[in-house]
Structure 1
Amino acid sequence: MSDVESRIADTMLAKLRERDPSLGPDDLNRPIADFDLDSLDMVELHQQLEIELQVKGDLTETAGFAFLNDFSAYFVKLASQG
């Protein structure tokens, strides 16, 4: 796992553990619908990832993601673009 991927995973887990402290790295492959997250939670996650990686993402694009690993792939791509 690259440094960027690790930072993304840590950021996502911190957000998920606000609801369920027992969640771990394996849970990052699950569908977003499996978690008790509303649209505000997803906007907050998006913003936290932007801050962590110092990038600017598109909320309309991430709003359609079904899996947490979609977020990871999207933000890895943004971070690699500079």
Structure 2
Amino acid sequence: MELIQNTVHGLIAVRLPGEDRWVRQDPRGNKPGVDAQFRPGRERLAFPVRPECNEVDYPVLFAEPHPDVLQCLREATDRSHLWQTLPTDL
């Protein structure tokens, strides 16, 4: 398994007609080896969250990207700088 260090990924959410809730989608699927088919009643992420690798899944929906994350992405001079300034929790 390839380990990718320091990755930021955001899910999207949709509210389908007739539904009273938002449903998250993972834009990283479907492709060979990645099964993230969209089913409103059952969330399926492209890759499992691995707490042992300090990965975190925030089950919160933001109407806009979190301002702290946007600020870091805009101000980072390079990837190393981004990892030093990116918030570790929201």
With normalisation by structure 2, the TM-score equals 0.26
Q: Which has the higher strand share?
A: 2
Between Structure 1 and Structure 2, the one with more helix by share is 1
TM-score using structure 1 length: 0.28
The answer to which structure, 1 or 2, has the higher relative contact order (CA under 8 A, 6+ apart) is: 1
| Larger-Rg structure | 2
